Structure 1
């Protein structure tokens, strides 16, 4: 190779390129077998017990694993306890998001940053029992791409249990992809399926739907749903209704078709009513008072119109969110990670 001597800038560029070529290669960090992703928001009372039970369950297995805690901008003592875990166990990594982005976004951040050949998603309230992880691993080793928990024996209130049941059945009827009943986010996902999910660009994240849509060999395991280890649920009825709406709008056009069908039915009904009154006037000479009838019909049609506009608005709102192309999340800091925080500070 000839060093250019006529142009100082070319000579400098050549030297830099040569230095890069001759630099020793960075040591390859082996990919762990399993990454366990746990989003947390104000879970100071469960962090230590959660860590203990996950490690106890996985250390009995012949797997190399990492624990990836996603701190969704907790305001209690969660961050300090996670820092202590990072200091005591090199397998623990903690990613703190810049603000509270929400449960589904925190899970998505975990999928982006997890390095394992398989990734487990689980909540941090210990309603998802870590003791089921060995069973997840066995099914994965049998060749399944996705192993998800089917929740039985819920300990929530009757209202929440009824809401969950109604939601899953409505979603199963409306969605354009088959989704298992009573299967939440607690699951093991093979790296191949993880990459498929990460390739899906939508900002409205409904991960259990994306997981089903990604395909692969999937199997459910019936798991007793435990009560919260400590504190109260972060998923209020309003947040559950919002998640349900996200799932339905993200995976079904049926509401729009229902609105169209309702419009057609109302139009046919109105035409029939007009013909009825016209015939009655011509042949019988009766002129109905009509005030009560008119009031009822106006209110009825107005309600149908508002419902239809609301349904269209939900879809337009999703389109508006998607076209802005904002990042899913920002990262405040990373502890215990193999890569510098600057390289993963933004998710596109």
Structure 2
């Protein structure tokens, strides 16, 4: 077991997108927490193209607290890339990723740090309750985690989001993974190392509305599945084989019994067409991911930074 010092630096990465209603409370709550801890903390806020006053409020807080650091994207690049960028700006011996809406309570961090000191290199928050969310959101999230874990070639813990602590060694490996469409929680599972969970109750938002709309949730689900599983491609093969078997059965029925109905023919045609379109869609999504990777564009563009030493950091 490594000998950790109480003077360790813990970096906290917080993606921000239109959180002006709650960002001040988040900053004050976090600062009150870190001042009571034995470790040193740096808070790295990554503004993911907010259109409200979130950036101004963060910059205002920097005048009061010298441990706040700020990374501002040139536009909205997405939650997962905001996490990716924030991680790359950290200097801590361990890095905590959490949302800026306080749904993931800072009071869980000491438990994560404790397990980290026990030798765990990844400590993820596992939700035992989700307050303030609709039945639909809870049900779809529960199903997604279980479907993803069953389909993926690696074990991705269920009921976990991006709220986690990672050792510097893990962060250094993640820094080398330059994926255009990152699925961070899957990537953290993929790198391995000793990983453990801390159970907690996820709070309701203290202000504002969730930024993860249904389309964004579906996109995240597709990114997760296609990043770590080839099951959809195998499903395309199954659909193709099923279509072929139904076609043969229909041919045999009409050949030996003379049975022929327009309804069944229309059903078969629509079913086959559906299978073809689904297959094309699945293959197309995988090709899209390959296409995105092949362009080699910067993952994100940083418009400016503040709070860092000399602000000497890469802008892409």
TM-score by length of 1: 0.86
In the alignment, which of 205, 211, 215 is matched to residue 234 of structure 1? 211
- Please report how far the alpha carbon of residue 265 of structure 1 lies from its aligned counterpart in structure 2 after TM superposition: 2.2
The answer to whether 1:78 aligns with 2:48 is no
Structure 2 residue ranges without an equivalent (≥5)? 1-6
1:61-93 residue CA offsets vs partner (Å, 9 max, x unmatched): 221221111111222111111112211222111
For 1:58 and 1:138, locate their aligned partners in 2 and report how far apart those are by CA, in whole Å: 15
- Matched positions, count: 309
1:89-145 residue CA offsets vs partner (Å, 9 max, x unmatched): 221111111101111110000011111111000000110101111111111111100
What SS does the aligned partner of 2:127 have? strand
5 Å-filtered alignment, 1:178-193, equals 178-193=155-170
Structure-1 residue corresponding to 2:120: 144
The answer to whether 1:94 aligns with 2:62 is no
Q: Is the 8 A contact 1:44 1:81 kept in 2?
A: yes
Structure-2 residue corresponding to 1:199: 176
The answer to whether 1:127 aligns with 2:98 is no
Structure-2 residue corresponding to 1:345: 315
What SS does the aligned partner of 1:243 have? helix
For 1:74 and 1:204, locate their aligned partners in 2 and report how far apart those are by CA, in whole Å: 20
Structure-1 residue corresponding to 2:136: 159
Q: Is the 8 A contact 1:66 1:93 kept in 2?
A: yes
- Please report how far the alpha carbon of residue 289 of structure 1 lies from its aligned counterpart in structure 2 after TM superposition: 4.0
Q: Cα gap change, 1:290/1:133 in structure 2, threshold over 3 Å: closer, same or farther?
A: same
- Please report how far the alpha carbon of residue 32 of structure 1 lies from its aligned counterpart in structure 2 after TM superposition: 5.9
Structure-1 residue corresponding to 2:298: 327
The answer to whether 1:310 aligns with 2:281 is yes
Q: Is the 8 A contact 2:243 2:271 kept in 1?
A: no
The structure with more radius of gyration: 1
Structure-1 residue corresponding to 2:190: 213
What SS does the aligned partner of 2:197 have? strand
- Please report how far the alpha carbon of residue 163 of structure 1 lies from its aligned counterpart in structure 2 after TM superposition: 0.9
1:312-332 residue CA offsets vs partner (Å, 9 max, x unmatched): 111111111110011111111
Structure 1 residue ranges without an equivalent (≥5)? 1-30, 281-286
For 2:310 and 2:44, locate their aligned partners in 1 and report how far apart those are by CA, in whole Å: 13
Q: Is the 8 A contact 1:151 1:182 kept in 2?
A: yes
The answer to whether 1:108 aligns with 2:84 is yes
For 2:185 and 2:265, locate their aligned partners in 1 and report how far apart those are by CA, in whole Å: 47
For 2:155 and 2:248, locate their aligned partners in 1 and report how far apart those are by CA, in whole Å: 39
What SS does the aligned partner of 1:329 have? coil
5 Å-filtered alignment, 1:205-284, equals 205-280=182-257
Q: Which runs of 4+ in 1 moved over 6 A?
A: none
1:198-253 residue CA offsets vs partner (Å, 9 max, x unmatched): 21122111101001001011111111110001011111112111111111111100
- Please report how far the alpha carbon of residue 294 of structure 1 lies from its aligned counterpart in structure 2 after TM superposition: 1.5
User: How large is the RMSD of aligned CA atoms in angstroms?
Assistant: 1.4
Q: Is the 8 A contact 1:98 1:332 kept in 2?
A: yes
For 2:287 and 2:122, locate their aligned partners in 1 and report how far apart those are by CA, in whole Å: 32
Q: Is the 8 A contact 1:54 1:131 kept in 2?
A: no
In the alignment, which of 31, 35, 40 is matched to residue 16 of structure 2? 40
What SS does the aligned partner of 1:164 have? helix
